[in-house]
Amino acid sequence: MFETIASKLQAVIQRLSRRGYLTEAAVREAMREVRLALLEADVNFRVVRDFTDQVTAQAVGEQVLKSVTPGQQVVKIVYDALVGMMGPADPLVHLSPEPPTVIMLAGLQGSGKTTTAAKLARRLHEGGHHPLLVAADMKRPAAIDQLEILGRQLELPVFSRRDGTAAPRICQQAVAEARKQGLDVVILDTAGRLHIDAEMMAELDEVVRTVKPHQTYLVADAMTGQDAVESASRFHERLPLDGVILTKLDADARGGAALSIRAVTGRPIKFVGVGEKVEALEEFHPERMASRILGMGDVVSLVEKAQATMDVEEARAMEEKLRKATFTLEDFLKQIHQMRRIGPFKELLAMIPGWGPAFEQMPIDDSELTRVEAIIQSMTPGERLKPEIIEAGRRRRIALGSGTAPHEVAGLVKQFRQMRGMMKGLADGSLSRVGIGVQDVPGLMARGPVKVKQRSKRLKGKRKKRR
């Protein structure tokens, strides 16, 4: 996400940072590029104007231009401006002191309301609440079926009627049923249209008057850019919106909606949808998003993702195996499975500070992990434990079983041995003695493990010459 704007902003800032000193002309030239990048990313033109004016005013100040590190100060100014544009954050669902809390989801057809309702219900259920999903979309024939299927998948109750009852009446009955069953949250999945019309808004107005929802969230498709911002503005004029949930943000390379919607509507982005699975709903944190856009990583989100999917004891055992170089291909297979649960590989690398730009141009594809999985799964337990026993005959059998070529099997085994040796070197400090440390790992990985030994020899040769 934000790939388009991130690459251009980072390029502009890097050019400023490489300068020994800054001039006002250089800053204004850079801001012209930033303005164009934001407009190309479909950011609202008023938001672009306010953002670039704010950054320019601060960056051409005497304190920055005469600073020893002006480039770093410009980065901080841009970061603060991005955070201000998207924030402040409010990722909490404010619950009523008298249950049930009624949450109404509104939005255009196709924005992902039904899936988002299930994702939100799952999130609240994991937080110790007992939600009731309500199928109040009587216009889309498959909406009720879809919500009931998601409810069964999550093992959560769904309230629905198929007898032609009007949506406001269904919502009223659902709230009464939630009180009766002792459920503390009611999530209303309302109807949408391809565009905002009087009939839809009248129905939503009637739902608001009938059940008086405690929270009303607009569900908007991030990929529609300024259309999402425009629909948010129009919904906000008619409904008491408490926040916005942006869907499909993982597929949005531009980021115009995320960067504009808060500034235009004044309503916070509460959550973002980052995938089709029911667990793919994240809290929106402007600080973390600004860090990602500027290539500064997002360690907090990475740790949270890892904590949610990884077992602590298993992680400690794996760390010990890495230290002692007893890490096997079976362990490697488990690590791949864990990484898949956290998220796409390239996205995870982008969350590590300083690693995103290094891997940006690399053709990293999760399908490569699938190929590696197939090769390892075609091995016997003994081969996974001791890959050095894999000779020509075994390579042919493994390649046949995994749908790959024998040289691919040989390449994986070779890279695994080198990786294990590299990790052992980092653990015992032997690589540090030849000038290779943890800070070199991103570059070494980008160039490939074969280059480790070559660089070690080169560094040793230089030391001999100096002696």
DSSP at 223 = G
Percentage with pLDDT > 90 across the chain: 27
Whole-angstrom distance, CA of residue 12 vs CA of residue 172: 54
Clarify whether residues 11 and 150 are in a common domain.
no
Query: For helices 3-17 and 24-40, what crossing angle results, to 10°?
Result: 170
Q: Dump strand ranges (E) for 222-320.
A: 243-247, 269-273, 281-283
For residue 64, what pLDDT is reported? 67
Beta strands 185-190 and 131-136 are parallel
Clarify whether residues 179 and 314 are in a common domain.
no
Under the banding of pLDDT at 50, 70 and 90, the label for residue 442 is: very low
Bridge partner list, 101: 185
Clarify whether residues 412 and 330 are in a common domain.
yes
> Looking at 263, 289, 315, which one is the last position of a domain?
289
Domains identified in the chain, total number: 3
Clarify whether residues 315 and 460 are in a common domain.
yes
Residue type, 5: I
Clarify whether residues 161 and 285 are in a common domain.
yes
> Looking at 86, 121, 150, which one is the last position of a domain?
86
Determine, yes or no, domain membership for 297: no
For the cut 70, the answer to whether the pLDDT of residue 115 exceeds it is: yes
Clarify whether residues 258 and 319 are in a common domain.
no
HSE, side-chain direction, 13 A CA sphere, residue 154 = 27
Under the banding of pLDDT at 50, 70 and 90, the label for residue 206 is: very high
Higher local confidence (pLDDT), 96 or 22: 96
For the cut 90, the answer to whether the pLDDT of residue 140 exceeds it is: no
Clarify whether residues 241 and 328 are in a common domain.
no
Tokens at residue 405, please? 């070529």
Whole-angstrom distance, CA of residue 206 vs CA of residue 186: 17
For the cut 60, the answer to whether the pLDDT of residue 455 exceeds it is: no
Residue type, 70: P
Q: 0.75 exceeded by the pTM?
A: no
For residue 444, what pLDDT is reported? 39
Clarify whether residues 62 and 152 are in a common domain.
no
Question: Is residue 118 within 8 Å of residue 276, measured between CB atoms?
Answer: no
Domain extent for 239:
101-289
Question: Is residue 272 within 8 Å of residue 310, measured between CB atoms?
Answer: no
Tokens at residue 62, please? 């005497």
Whole-angstrom distance, CA of residue 74 vs CA of residue 60: 9
For residue 217, what pLDDT is reported? 94
Q: In whole angstroms, how far apart are CA 35 and each of 26, 147, 327, 383?
A: 14, 42, 49, 56
Bridge partner list, 132: 186
Query: For helices 198-211 and 226-238, what crossing angle results, to 10°?
Result: 50
Specify burial of residue 136 (Cβ count, 10 A radius: 0-12, 13-18, 19+).
Answer: buried
Where does 41-166 have alpha helices with state H?
45-59, 62-65, 70-86, 113-126, 143-154
Where does 18-108 have alpha helices with state H?
24-40, 45-59, 62-65, 70-86
For residue 373, what pLDDT is reported? 87
Determine, yes or no, domain membership for 300: no
Whole-angstrom distance, CA of residue 424 vs CA of residue 278: 39
Determine, yes or no, domain membership for 94: no
Question: Is residue 286 within 8 Å of residue 87, measured between CB atoms?
Answer: yes
> What do you get for the CA distance between the two ends of the chain, in Å?
50
CATH number reported for the structural domain that contains residue 82 in this entry:
1.20.120.140
